[in-house]
Amino acid sequence: MVFVIIVSTQKEKQDKILINHEKIHLRQQWEMLILPFFVWYITEYIINRIKGMENRAAYRAISFEREAKENEQNQDYLKYRRPLTVDDFLLKNVFFLINLDKF
């Protein structure tokens, strides 16, 4: 009985984290008017692969994923998150794209 309660509590916690993760993505999408979000998401993934990252690492390094992953356990994150939070990784990828011809 105790085991079932612990498992269900753990599952509930994991579900809350997952839902929070997806809510962060929804906020990111609305801020970027949806389509540019997906364009930039895919662009970052491609840049990461060009840099030599493996599939999973390239996915995890996408700036939107980093923000969501780093803050998914903070249920209050979206209450105080500043609009258009851009982490330095996104800026580095913009810089990489601008200077692609030099690589």
State in angstroms the smallest separation of the CB of 88 from Zn ion.
19
Footprint of Zn ion on 8-37 (CB under 5 A): none
- Give the range of 5-13, 35-43, 62-70, 92-100 binding Zn ion by CB under 5 A: 62-70
Q: Name the H helices within 1-103.
A: 2-31, 35-50, 55-60, 63-71, 77-80, 88-98
Per CB under 5 A, 68 contacts Zn ion: yes
Specify whether the backbone of 52 is left (phi greater than 0), alpha (psi in -120 to 50) or beta: left
Q: Which is nearer to Zn ion, 56 or 102 (CB)?
A: 56
Q: Would you tell me which residues interact with Zn ion (CB under 5 A)?
A: 65, 68
